[in-house]
A and B are shown apart, each in its own frame.
Chain A
Amino acid sequence: MELSEHIKTANVEDVTLRRPFHPALRGTLCVTSHHLLFSNRKDEASWQLLILLKNIDAIEKSVENLFGYPRAVGSSGTITIKCKDLLVLQLEIPGMEECLNIASSIEALSSLESVTEMYPFFYRPSHLTLLGPWGLSTTEQYYKQTERLWDRWRVSKVNSDYSVCPSYPSAVIVPREVDDDKLIRSARFRQGGRFPVLSYCHHSNGMVIMRSSQPLTGANKKRCKEDELLLQAVIDGSELGYIIDLRSAQQAQQARMTGGGFESKSCYRHWKRIHRHHERGKVVQESLIKLVEACSDLSHSVDRWLSKLENSKWLSHVHSALSTAGLVVECVERDGHSVLVHGSEGTDNTLLVSSLAQIILDPASRTVTGFLCLLEREWIQAGHPFQQRCAHSAYSHARLKQECPSFLLLLDCVWQVWRQFPLALEFSEALLLRLAQEVYASNYGTFLCNSEQERCAAGVKENTHCLFQSMLKPDIEEQYLNPLYEPTDLAIWPSVHPQSLQLWTGMFLRWTEYAQNMEEAREEVWSIVKEHRERV
């Protein structure tokens, strides 16, 4: 079925658009294969609103005269469009049939599942070329640039055909002394084949953060010699390493019943296991839904608001992610031990914690380029299933499948760090907001698919543009810079006391009046800094 076949009514005139805190506008509404276009042609300066259909999370229609006289003059319908970036729009469409047609076209086109039909495969702006590099760096390049790895670590291509671990990239960094056969055996002992690989090597003491999925010890307490050797090789003679298990001890025990498990003390003698409970999957998605619901009701009393905020548990997730990342950093930086992080699948909270730890630890990941490289390495290449996790956002009424805002949670945590250390990050909130938007709906191919393997199969690299590359173009990058940036080499320990954590207003109150004044303040900061730079 061609995309255009979904479009029953392409154009409607005299549509009224209502946005929060803006006067209503009349204009023409147009549905294309990938976009919803509203243009206000009456005014001299024509104004357009272009929304990616993929950005539409939910659509609600209310039609007058639904059961009355369908052809009655003056019948009209209202469509409420709720976007994944949390914007809510209303369209008043004259003509009931048109309204229903538009609504059903949007519904069909916004929930396309075939990757190659998605807009990034059609996005061809004149200023970008498909010939340029896709992505910022590869595992090999990262290894080459990181001299401290050369001695004890190597790049393994054991997964070059994605047969060992379908969700891993083709190349991973592992201890030099562990050969590929051992890796294959270790992979068989880990859920989804996600054997322990290097995530970060600390610049000051060479200690590392590894990540993996849970070991498949099962009820019979199976062992895997190679997996044990692999971890032994990680700590290489030093007497201790930490395994940060992102489940409670009880959950880890229960996981054995379904074939999963944890590293027992007797088999991994030099590793000390610490359990930290993290919510995952549906629970976190529901938190997001509740939070957004709480933010959009303006009639709340303060008590009711606080109660809803508490009830959403979103800030609790932020709190636990930052606390555990702090714990990892403490092990690495202060105690000088290597760490293995995993939960169950090792594709969500594991990545969240390991990348947050790097931001706290590593000044290189606090620059714009460094941060984007970190996301590429730790989320895109590491196989966070973006397509599944970000299929829907906070408004959708669809039954939850694999949705989980892990990436949004990361952005929120980074925002908390930025708020506590407004001088330490090279990028600003604008970058985080842009990423929060792009991850759900994008012109670019960066967040498509669930793994490198899938991206290869779909030809993402050949046929789409890379978001990160485009963000780093000098004229674009500037808008994401933090005017107050002053690099520091030290670890930036975020406070995880509950009163130090706040609602990310820039994100969750983005479309309210509240954001306006903040924007003015940001401009003011820029103008002071610019004025200063001119003098210098």
Chain B
Amino acid sequence: MEHIRTPKVENVHMIDRLTPRKSTVGTLYLSSTHTIFVENSEARKETWVLHSLVYNVERLPTNPSGSPLLIRCKNFHVYRLLIPQEKDCLDVLASLTRLSRPECYGELFCFSFNPNLDKELREKAWGFIDLKAEFSRMGIPSNLWHVTAANHEYRLCETYPSELFVPKSAFPAVIVGSAKFRSRGRLPVLSYFHRDTSASICRSSQPLSGFSARSTDDEQMLHAIMKSNPVSELMYVVDTRPKLNAMANRATGKGYENEDHYTNIKLQFVGIENIHVMRSSQQKLVDVGELPAPSMSDFLWGLENSGWLKHIKAVLDAGVFIAKAVAEDGVSVLVHCSDGWDRTAQACSLASVLLDPYYRTIKGLMVLIEKDWVSFGHKFSHRYAHLDGDPKEVSPVMDQFLECVWQLMQQFPCAFEFNERFLIQLHTHIYSCQYGNFIGNCQKERRDLRLQERTHSLWPHLWENRAEYTNPLYRTDHSQTQGVLKPLTTAYCFKFWKGMYGHADKSVASHQSPADCLNAVREESQQLEEELIAHQERLAQLKEKKTSGGRKKTNKLSERVRRPIPIESKLSSPLDYFTATRSEKHSPSFTLPLELAAPPKNGDPDDLSTCSDFESGVADLSSHSSSAGDDTKDPDSDEAVKSNT
């Protein structure tokens, strides 16, 4: 609280970039966790921005109408405010700058976030994902793989989970020796076991080979992994770095496996760039989205120049390579990069998504993230700047994984149980610090922070709302759902992810969502079925009385289906066409609604801002799908927490 210099500023303008006439006037509040903008209008529309989601705050030069303030969020939303008094603006700037950069874990939102769960439920929630169960789903432990206690109390490797799965044939001494020969002790351990071929995906960090060093333990470790796949006499080592980078590492005593020292390994570089390249690439991509009035060429050129899609392709290519090795060649793969917590996590988890239909379900993706990212020590707090720290540690590693999954969803619309919204929601929460799941950099750190006692878990929350995240086209018996996905990785398959990066202005948001419509249709079908049954029962009960219930229902349905469409259709503003070719500077606007006003009826574009976030009409659609009541969902209820004030 001491960081808030001014808790309230009146007469603030929230500026809409493309259509200035839609800008609104209201009051700005600063709480300890959120920035809240309340419109002066009748609807008193509220916009909540979580401090931990703020990427940066920028003050533009004061002009006669006031001081503009730009709030950029980590989920790529941008808010443009105009504050009448320069002093207020400076105060807000200083407060927000401090509030959005917590200096210690204790300041994070997750420690104050309280969704009113009782203690028992909270504990149960943390058990929602059980990695032991996940390994046993893969058939592990088996006669070839078992769990080792070598990392008990994290004494072998601080950043690994305490339970590690290794080949049975690897003796404890080999395990310890291998860990010593690997950067930060991250020895080769099992990440995924493919039952059909009994090939496995293992992961590690780079070996400390330098120019000539070798370790028989490490060599034996790899041999043991290869031998754990009885079918194959070969094993791939996938170094996810560009070969040059890997070679450069040899000068610092690290590097890659010497094929002469290890029996029957085949080394393959796949060329994913390092975190620094990715960070600047994403920044360029975001800048493209912020161009005031780009032409088609500006946009495509900017997209190319950012290199982002090239990197996405590289990550997906790595996943495809591994999946192919495992599924088609039946060969085990050891994946590593430098430290084995960024590119390695990307490559392993993507390969798993391609290989195993389970990871394409809602629960499965949660499990996968928990396994390959959370438990294996992906440095969430560093990469996503949870705390004020070294900006060089920040990098959109997880963003890229989620985007690769999204790109796959574009190619296989029926293969995934979840929808785009689920990925975006995950992305937001990786940054938001609202739940404890992604706090810290490894399992040990999370244990020491006692996160399970002090914070809540995201997974059950997402699971409860899974209806919102379901892809209507997903069917467990569909051909795309089965077996291994073999995506095309031709350049033209990679698209700009508008749902993630396209928040520069409202009119860019998607107008109508076929998926939501289908979901509604589907739900309605189910309801009708239920209603039909109910009516049949009733009919049986009241045989004499002739009710016309069935007919009424039909009428009601057509009403319901019809409702949302006019609302959505006028989403964008006609002003687009005037500004499209001029270079006026407007500010973007985006809102996280706290309470949903009554769904607008008249199709006025201005009303739309109240109804949803990234997918317009989301809330409207859900309202017509349920005859049980108007449980209009708030798609961002997480951010819009009512716990404070």
By a beta-carbon cutoff of 8 Å, the part of chain A in contact with chain B is 276, 294-295, 298, 300-307, 309-310, 313, 315-316, 318-319, 323-324, 326-327, 329-330, 333-334, 420-424, 484, 486-503, 505, 509, 512-514, 517-518, 520-521, 524-525, 528-529, 531-532, 535-536
CB of A88, distance to nearest CB on chain B (Å): 16
CB of B28, distance to nearest CB on chain A (Å): 28
A304 vs B297: C-alpha distance when bound (angstroms):
14
> Which residues of chain B are within 8 angstroms of A305 by Cβ–Cβ distance?
491-492
> Which residues of chain A are within 8 angstroms of B300 by Cβ–Cβ distance?
306, 309-310, 315, 498
A310, B301: Cβ atoms closer than 8 Å: yes
A324 vs B303: C-alpha distance when bound (angstroms):
24
> Which residues of chain A are within 8 angstroms of B490 by Cβ–Cβ distance?
298, 300, 512, 514
Q: Does B535 contact A (CB under 8 A)?
A: no
> Which residues of chain B are within 8 angstroms of A488 by Cβ–Cβ distance?
565-566, 569
> Which residues of chain B are within 8 angstroms of A517 by Cβ–Cβ distance?
411-414, 480
> Which residues of chain B are within 8 angstroms of A318 by Cβ–Cβ distance?
296
A493 vs B491: C-alpha distance when bound (angstroms):
31
Q: Does B119 contact A (CB under 8 A)?
A: no
In the complex, 10 of the A-B residue pairs with CB atoms within 8 angstroms, ordered by the A residue number, are A323-B576, A334-B574, A423-B514, A495-B508, A502-B495, A517-B414, A524-B414, A525-B514, A528-B473, A528-B525
A322 and chain B: residue at smallest CB distance: B577
Contact among A303, A513, A514, A531 for B310, CB-based, below 8 A: A303
B493, A514: Cβ atoms closer than 8 Å: yes
Q: Does B294 contact A (CB under 8 A)?
A: yes
B572, A493: Cβ atoms closer than 8 Å: yes
Q: Which of B422-480 contact A (CB under 8 A)?
A: 472-473, 475, 478-480
Residues 360-393 of chain B, each 1 if its beta carbon lies under 8 Å from chain A, else 0: 0000000000000000000000000000000000
> Which residues of chain B are within 8 angstroms of A487 by Cβ–Cβ distance?
565
Q: Which of B482-535 contact A (CB under 8 A)?
A: 488, 490-496, 498, 501-502, 504-505, 507-508, 510-514, 517-518, 521-522, 524-525, 528-529, 532
Contact among A276, A495, A498, A512 for B572, CB-based, below 8 A: A495
Q: Does B68 contact A (CB under 8 A)?
A: no
A301 vs B521: C-alpha distance when bound (angstroms):
40
CB of A356, distance to nearest CB on chain B (Å): 12
B295, A319: Cβ atoms closer than 8 Å: yes
B561, A486: Cβ atoms closer than 8 Å: yes
A501 and chain B: residue at smallest CB distance: B296
A424, B521: Cβ atoms closer than 8 Å: no
A253 vs B488: C-alpha distance when bound (angstroms):
50
A499, B289: Cβ atoms closer than 8 Å: yes
> Which residues of chain B are within 8 angstroms of A493 by Cβ–Cβ distance?
507, 570-574, 576
B492, A295: Cβ atoms closer than 8 Å: yes
Whether A509 touches B569, Cβ cut-off 8 Å, given contacts A422-B512, A495-B576, A499-B289, is no
CB of A500, distance to nearest CB on chain B (Å): 6
B511, A302: Cβ atoms closer than 8 Å: no
Whether A315 touches B296, Cβ cut-off 8 Å, given contacts A323-B581, A421-B569, A486-B565, is yes
Q: Does B597 contact A (CB under 8 A)?
A: no
CB of A89, distance to nearest CB on chain B (Å): 20
Q: Count of chain B residues with Cβ under 8 Å from any Cβ of A? A: 75
B602 and chain A: residue at smallest CB distance: A490
Majority SS of interface residues in chain A?
A: helix
A520, B472: Cβ atoms closer than 8 Å: no
Contact among A329, A486, A500, A535 for B574, CB-based, below 8 A: A329
B413, A518: Cβ atoms closer than 8 Å: yes
A316, B296: Cβ atoms closer than 8 Å: yes
Q: Does B599 contact A (CB under 8 A)?
A: no
By a beta-carbon cutoff of 8 Å, the part of chain B in contact with chain A is 289, 294-301, 303-304, 307, 309-310, 312-313, 411-414, 472-473, 475, 478-480, 488, 490-496, 498, 501-502, 504-505, 507-508, 510-514, 517-518, 521-522, 524-525, 528-529, 532, 554, 557, 561-562, 565-566, 568-578, 580-581, 603
A422, B514: Cβ atoms closer than 8 Å: yes
> Which residues of chain B are within 8 angstroms of A494 by Cβ–Cβ distance?
572
Whether A307 touches B299, Cβ cut-off 8 Å, given contacts A327-B577, A334-B574, A424-B565, is no
A536 vs B554: C-alpha distance when bound (angstroms):
6
Whether A531 touches B297, Cβ cut-off 8 Å, given contacts A422-B512, A524-B473, is no
Whether A524 touches B475, Cβ cut-off 8 Å, given contacts A497-B504, A498-B295, is yes
B413 and chain A: residue at smallest CB distance: A521
B508, A509: Cβ atoms closer than 8 Å: no
> Which residues of chain B are within 8 angstroms of A502 by Cβ–Cβ distance?
495
Whether A420 touches B528, Cβ cut-off 8 Å, given contacts A319-B296, A521-B413, is no
> Which residues of chain B are within 8 angstroms of A484 by Cβ–Cβ distance?
514, 517-518
A495 vs B505: C-alpha distance when bound (angstroms):
10
CB of B548, distance to nearest CB on chain A (Å): 15
A360 and chain B: residue at smallest CB distance: B574
A329 and chain B: residue at smallest CB distance: B574
B580, A306: Cβ atoms closer than 8 Å: no
Closest 8 pairs (CB-CB, A-B): A498-B299, A305-B491, A521-B413, A326-B577, A310-B300, A306-B304, A330-B574, A316-B296
Given contacts A306-B300, A329-B574, A490-B570, 11 further A-B contacts (CB under 8 A): A302-B309, A302-B312, A306-B309, A313-B296, A315-B296, A326-B574, A423-B517, A495-B572, A497-B505, A499-B299, A520-B478
B512, A423: Cβ atoms closer than 8 Å: yes
A306 and chain B: residue at smallest CB distance: B304
A300 vs B304: C-alpha distance when bound (angstroms):
13
CB of B280, distance to nearest CB on chain A (Å): 16
CB of A98, distance to nearest CB on chain B (Å): 35
B524, A490: Cβ atoms closer than 8 Å: no
A513 and chain B: residue at smallest CB distance: B488
CB of A407, distance to nearest CB on chain B (Å): 20
B507, A497: Cβ atoms closer than 8 Å: yes
CB of A520, distance to nearest CB on chain B (Å): 6
CB of A532, distance to nearest CB on chain B (Å): 4
> Which residues of chain B are within 8 angstroms of A423 by Cβ–Cβ distance?
512, 514, 517, 565, 568
CB of A309, distance to nearest CB on chain B (Å): 6
> Which residues of chain B are within 8 angstroms of A513 by Cβ–Cβ distance?
488
A302 vs B304: C-alpha distance when bound (angstroms):
8
B573 and chain A: residue at smallest CB distance: A493
> Which residues of chain B are within 8 angstroms of A330 by Cβ–Cβ distance?
574-575, 577-578
A191 vs B495: C-alpha distance when bound (angstroms):
43
A521 vs B412: C-alpha distance when bound (angstroms):
8
A276 vs B578: C-alpha distance when bound (angstroms):
11
Whether A499 touches B498, Cβ cut-off 8 Å, given contacts A423-B512, A423-B565, A532-B522, is yes
Contact among B479, B495, B532 for A535, CB-based, below 8 A: B532
> Which residues of chain B are within 8 angstroms of A486 by Cβ–Cβ distance?
517, 561-562, 565
CB of A513, distance to nearest CB on chain B (Å): 6
Whether A524 touches B478, Cβ cut-off 8 Å, given contacts A295-B492, A497-B507, is yes
Whether A306 touches B507, Cβ cut-off 8 Å, given contacts A486-B561, A498-B294, is no
Identify the interface centre among A489, A491, A494, A495: most chain B CB within 10 Å of its CB: A495
A310, B304: Cβ atoms closer than 8 Å: yes
A323 vs B507: C-alpha distance when bound (angstroms):
13
Contact among B473, B554, B562, B569 for A492, CB-based, below 8 A: B569
Whether A316 touches B297, Cβ cut-off 8 Å, given contacts A509-B492, A517-B411, A520-B479, is yes
